[in-house]
Structure 1
């Protein structure tokens, strides 16, 4: 059956205002959480410092948002609920530099067209509040004075009562409320200076006070994300040109089974932007256990004219004028923190109880934590020799000067078994005391006890040194006995032309055989046995979508990781105190040495407070 046979032949006519609003509501109001989002953004744009959100039956029965913002003038209330009416922009120049959360002027009109709607508002110049209401937005009541506080209250009852097709797709009230709860939690994180309360079925579910000081913000983070996130994260600030990134990064070993604790806000706006999430994913690459996800709360600030927020009906996606710069800025900044050296502050962090849970519990979503680390500059000895990867190697001692050499020597020869009391004399991981069953190193630092998995730790050290050497020798290419011919579409060919020099730098030799054909003559030595054709296609696809690709580096690193695993010191090998202490010093100078190449923790620490608690001392 053809389409033309079922479509009626009718003259073109203008849609009624009510029908046009209902069609617009299909884009703006998908479910109850969409209503809450629009009303919450309006409240924030009004300058409110206190917001109350009350919903019933997951928002289907009732949604009410009350704020103490500037309010709406009585003579503008009917205009406020009409389509394309807003005070937030007046011309195209303002649209290209939107500073408010909402700006399209469709929200109230769309919401009122699919609900029983009531708007009450009062400005500070008015002696009383004013009210208008409507069923389905077709006919509005006369403006009437009512008692009310400064600000605005919007009440939405019986959502989708006149659009049953949309209503039947709603989920159970608990499911719908969970979406609202997560939205409100994001808003509580994005606007720390605003007090927000969420009530469901007349019961307060979340409530936070305004948090202006750093101490109050950390307390608010703990209430919203848990104390483990607070104790296992650090506050960071990065700035380059006119772009600033600030917030909290969780340690790599504080990770999740799902990406349910990843929050990034652009100029205070809640976003779910793939470019930003991909940059952060790459920043944490190589330090997370397989299948795990990092956690963070980050605020990205940049000039309003350099970000387009008008690319998605729900305004969840944004587009950057210089997306490449933003991507690189975030990835490199976060990576520098993830790979910083161990500090005394890291050693002082108490490892949470989840460190000692079973691995299966860890995989089910528990967070594990130790610390995170640091760019390593290879010593002269490291830059002169390549490790014998195919066999276990002797533990290499780096040329990095040890902290407090006399004390280290006393530990090495066994002449001193005491730990110095001066904090400046004690490195973060302390000094080795003994080996446990040839697998773990037991060390003592200023805070208490440190337990190190010597194979996992040495594996990371060898791996990072191998990566450094590979980066210095990456131009080594291996010619293919039989060149590979690739057929690509025109978009992939343009991507290759743009990034041809980058691929050659990595050791690839490619040339065009035709408008849509490439010949591969040589590849990096470490990738000689890889599926080169598929790899290059994937890399070009990455460049088209993300303006970046980590696939080649990822495959090379995976091979180096395997080689490092074979080259690291084996379990059950007896080490001297000098070797154990040198391993601890090398860990303190090696990037990401709190995790092995597979993302498992390499060390944990127990403070004296935790040890006392285990033995119930002082109780």
Structure 2
């Protein structure tokens, strides 16, 4: 078939398919244009999920009359400048976008009207584009109070391409996607006021924050991620070379069921990148259960020439020149901040506890005969076993696991000589007052009480001690009598071979064995018998997806966690007052002690004011 040039209308519609795939994409492009125009107030109005109406109004600098026709031409933009030689620097980008395709792409598939009042100009002008057909510039009215700005109205999106309408989701689903886009952009710019209306109903209203770097950013994030985020997050602010990471990350006990609440912003641009998935997973890897995910909003600032923002037509992905540095910064900053949080736990745990108390209905009184109660107690004492909360009876642990993980609770942490260990004022977790059901420690703090799960708390203490031992002494290896050859894809084998030194530090010694094969000589002793082929395939998948060999490290930590669980203080063991206070003091001095190795909270703190409300005193 002969090669022919496509007509301009077809070219524009093809471009629209790349850039404007759904209403949310159009909203994203238009709001980014408003931000680049210096807007401090942006109003988004949506009708029928964005398929009927998209209206974006801002108070930015506006578009002069003679530039309105250029605004709807392909590859025309105000965000790039050419040198005297005609060269354009595509690496030094300081705006949200610069392709110059959004407005003409929207105009090619919808009915587009742009009304604008340029700063310092008395008149207001408008231009219309319908299905790619451009009309003449005409006078218009500017009814808002701002001195300048632009209003872009998009009606009947995809009316010129009916086939695309068949692939749109429900109006509710499209509106949720629009809301997600607006929220992400609002998180990136706390200094800008945002409002979002859907079919005449206000669904989001955010005032501009005066302090967009610190508390203002925290307030904006809390308004979007939920009011619980502000008291349950930790501040991040670290710099490495020319890259700065700031933002907030949730405590390990403040988590969600999906990764949708993890946000990354690069130079003020919200992006979705697998880099954050691997980095956040590495930082929280032994603090959360596998099916739970932390909440985080991370802001990266780096020189524009260190990141390529033009790798995706919709500008949702970026590529870093030094991805290893960025990933190391994220992991290091998160790990340092989480360690600094110490024993701090989420306030939502206490709120859940108080909610359970309020919802509790007293059962009918039931008194077990005293003789029966004494018989059960004598039987348990005579057996020497420990009763777990689940009802299972387990014998006291013995052997290597118990020996390596034993922590002497009778040796209390050294404290100042002028501090009474029974005085709750001196300690964040207070002073132990009682042990109930031989499982929970009740401590009195200066302004409330703390209830500690003694097994979960001690499990974390033992686990942290074991991790430190592994870090100081390295991972012991066991040599295979007959080295095992594992066949892999050549690219996977090359990736594993390049990380042989890193894997050796974790106890796995490998070496290349011809094209597409890896020879396994030694494996970590802690893991016992190892399926070498399965492990190497898991490691290769980790490296391909996340750029890091997580599987082996997670296996080692899983074994340590299991050993710590077996070797820690059991529920059902009676503790003395000194032992209980010693456990509390060690928790205060141990990082991550607010949650056990499985991500469950180790303690619940109830403030006195909340307790008084339960009894009607407030």
Task: Name 2:97's counterpart in structure 1.
Answer: 102
Following superposition, the deviation at residue 508 of structure 1 comes to 2.6
Alpha-carbon separation, structure 1, partners of 2:345 and 2:110 = 56
Task: Name 2:138's counterpart in structure 1.
Answer: 144
Matching of residues 540-559 of structure 1 within 5 Å = 540-559=540-559
SS in 1 for 2:264: strand
Cα distance change on mapping 1:93 and 1:305 into 2, 3 Å: farther
2:209 alignment partner, one of 187, 208, 211:
211
Task: Name 2:393's counterpart in structure 1.
Answer: none
Q: Confirm or deny: 8 A CA contact 2:451 2:605 kept in the other structure.
A: yes
Following superposition, the deviation at residue 511 of structure 1 comes to 3.1
2:59 alignment partner, one of 62, 65, 68:
68
Task: Name 1:157's counterpart in structure 2.
Answer: 155
Cα distance change on mapping 1:218 and 1:329 into 2, 3 Å: closer
Alpha-carbon separation, structure 1, partners of 2:353 and 2:89 = 51
* Alignment of 1:183 onto 2:181: yes
Task: Name 2:535's counterpart in structure 1.
Answer: 535
Cα distance change on mapping 1:261 and 1:429 into 2, 3 Å: same
Which deviates more, 181-190 or 17-26?
181-190
Cα distance change on mapping 1:520 and 1:127 into 2, 3 Å: same
* Alignment of 1:590 onto 2:585: no
Q: Confirm or deny: 8 A CA contact 1:351 1:606 kept in the other structure.
A: no
Cα distance change on mapping 1:472 and 1:182 into 2, 3 Å: same
1:403 alignment partner, one of 415, 431, 434:
415
* Alignment of 1:287 onto 2:287: yes
Following superposition, the deviation at residue 402 of structure 1 comes to 3.1
2:126 alignment partner, one of 127, 131, 151:
131
* Alignment of 1:37 onto 2:28: yes
Q: What TM-score, normalized by structure 2, do the two folds share? A: 0.87
Following superposition, the deviation at residue 348 of structure 1 comes to 11
Q: What TM-score, normalized by structure 1, do the two folds share? A: 0.87
Cα distance change on mapping 1:348 and 1:66 into 2, 3 Å: closer
Task: Name 1:369's counterpart in structure 2.
Answer: none
Alpha-carbon separation, structure 2, partners of 1:490 and 1:533 = 15
Following superposition, the deviation at residue 506 of structure 1 comes to 2.5
Task: Name 1:167's counterpart in structure 2.
Answer: 165
Task: Name 1:569's counterpart in structure 2.
Answer: 569
Alpha-carbon separation, structure 1, partners of 2:284 and 2:345 = 21
Task: Name 1:382's counterpart in structure 2.
Answer: none
SS in 2 for 1:613: helix
Alpha-carbon separation, structure 2, partners of 1:34 and 1:347 = 38
Alpha-carbon separation, structure 2, partners of 1:288 and 1:256 = 10
SS in 2 for 1:113: helix
Following superposition, the deviation at residue 349 of structure 1 comes to 5.8
* Alignment of 1:276 onto 2:276: yes
* Alignment of 1:112 onto 2:103: no
Following superposition, the deviation at residue 47 of structure 1 comes to 0.6
Following superposition, the deviation at residue 387 of structure 1 comes to 8.3
Cα distance change on mapping 1:394 and 1:68 into 2, 3 Å: closer
Cα distance change on mapping 1:151 and 1:400 into 2, 3 Å: farther
Q: Confirm or deny: 8 A CA contact 2:24 2:178 kept in the other structure.
A: yes
Alpha-carbon separation, structure 2, partners of 1:390 and 1:563 = 8
Alpha-carbon separation, structure 1, partners of 2:489 and 2:495 = 10
Alpha-carbon separation, structure 2, partners of 1:118 and 1:17 = 20
Alpha-carbon separation, structure 1, partners of 2:469 and 2:26 = 55
SS in 1 for 2:229: helix
Task: Name 1:522's counterpart in structure 2.
Answer: 522
Following superposition, the deviation at residue 528 of structure 1 comes to 3.0
Alpha-carbon separation, structure 2, partners of 1:398 and 1:337 = 31
Equivalences, count: 568
Alpha-carbon separation, structure 2, partners of 1:356 and 1:616 = 14
Which deviates more, 256-265 or 75-84?
256-265
Following superposition, the deviation at residue 395 of structure 1 comes to 4.6
Alpha-carbon separation, structure 2, partners of 1:522 and 1:394 = 29
Cα distance change on mapping 1:514 and 1:444 into 2, 3 Å: same
Q: Confirm or deny: 8 A CA contact 1:408 1:581 kept in the other structure.
A: no
Alpha-carbon separation, structure 2, partners of 1:52 and 1:513 = 62
Q: Which runs of 5+ in 2 are unaligned?
A: 360-397
Alpha-carbon separation, structure 2, partners of 1:513 and 1:323 = 29
Following superposition, the deviation at residue 135 of structure 1 comes to 1.3
Following superposition, the deviation at residue 586 of structure 1 comes to 1.1
Task: Name 2:313's counterpart in structure 1.
Answer: 313
Q: Confirm or deny: 8 A CA contact 1:117 1:137 kept in the other structure.
A: no
Cα distance change on mapping 1:128 and 1:465 into 2, 3 Å: same
